[in-house]
Amino acid sequence: MNGIPTIIQACLPARRSSSFTKTGVFVSVTRPVKELKGFRRVVLEARETRTAEFELPVAALDWYGKDMRLTVEPGAFKATIRRSSRDIALEGDAEILP
């Protein structure tokens, strides 16, 4: 897999998850503030560390526009990978070019 990695750790045996969200900056139609685009659930033993990877295919960026057609709109968005709702592992800006 050739994606965006995030490291997940546990002190005790645990189930952990990591999620990938997308936030649109400027779009022509009202969109959710944050959209979940993927998650990974990982079972860890005590003191184990694993890497979860995420890919963002173009199909994950489409939505129904004003004309009710599936579209991918050019523009900026923020991508965030979280280990939990409060623990941001990676955050960055990206842009879809026309």
Tokens 């173009």 sit at which residue? 58
Q: What is the pTM of this model?
A: 0.64
Phi and psi based region of residue 17 (left: phi greater than 0; alpha: psi -120 to 50; beta: remaining): beta
Q: What tens digit of pLDDT does each residue of 31-87 get?
A: 777 888 888 888 878 877 877 777 778 888 888 888 888 888 888 888 888 877 788
pLDDT at 6: 59
Ordered by start, the domain boundaries in the chain are 4-96
- Looking at residue 76, its pLDDT comes to 82
Burial profile 53-87: b = 16 or more Cβ within 10 angstroms, e = fewer: ebebeeeebeeeeeeeeeeebeeebebbbbbeeee
The CATH number corresponding to 4-96 among 2.60.40.10, 3.40.50.720, 1.10.3720.10, 3.30.420.40 equals 2.60.40.10
> Would you say 10 and 16 are in contact if contact means Cβ atoms under 8 Å apart?
yes
pLDDT tops 60 at residue 2? no
